[in-house]
Amino acid sequence: MWLRKAADFARRGLSPLTRVVGNIGASVIAVMMLLTVTDVVGRRVFNHPLGGSYELSELMLVIVVFFSFAHCEFLRGHITIGLVVSRLKQRAQNVIDSIMYVFFLAMFCLLTWRLWLYAMEVRQHNLLSGVLEVPIFPFVFLESLCCALLSLVVLMRLLLFFAGALGR
């Protein structure tokens, strides 16, 4: 009972946050599209490409990908193949999902931690992008924060699966 309440509490807190982060990712992909169109038109029509557009697209792609992970998981939008598991009883499915989500949680917590350490290292060495010399560390920090958000969403799902596995 308390597991489901904790998961519902987490869901209410994470829902607006993942939606905002997902919308930011969707907005950045629209800007990335306009940047690419501007670069192609400049290259073909005016024979003058937009300088640094490839590099900006790379940096924006980091935002698009990592900002959409948590929202996609919150909506259960990731692809799953449950050919065998879907034929089991709901309680057995919850046990298997619980085991998988413990692994996912450990993996994303480890990824969050390592990305944070890498961001500190990148900041310390003041790494810049090649052409535009944009600092790289803010993007790595954003990756780490988005993985932390994804870890919270995975924890919420894990609580729900534990509650289902315990039959409550």
pLDDT at 84 > cutoff 60? yes
Question: Residue 14, by phi and psi: left (phi above 0), alpha (psi -120 to 50) or beta?
Answer: alpha
- Average pLDDT over all residues of the chain: 91
Model confidence at 86, pLDDT cuts 50, 70, 90, reads: confident
**50-70 residue pLDDT tens:** 888 999 999 999 999 999 999
pTM metric for this prediction: 0.88
Greater model confidence, 91 or 108:
108
pLDDT at 168 > cutoff 60? no
Greater model confidence, 77 or 33:
33
pLDDT for res 3: 81
Min mean pLDDT across 61-70, 79-88, 142-151 is at 79-88
| Domain boundaries defined on the chain | 2-165
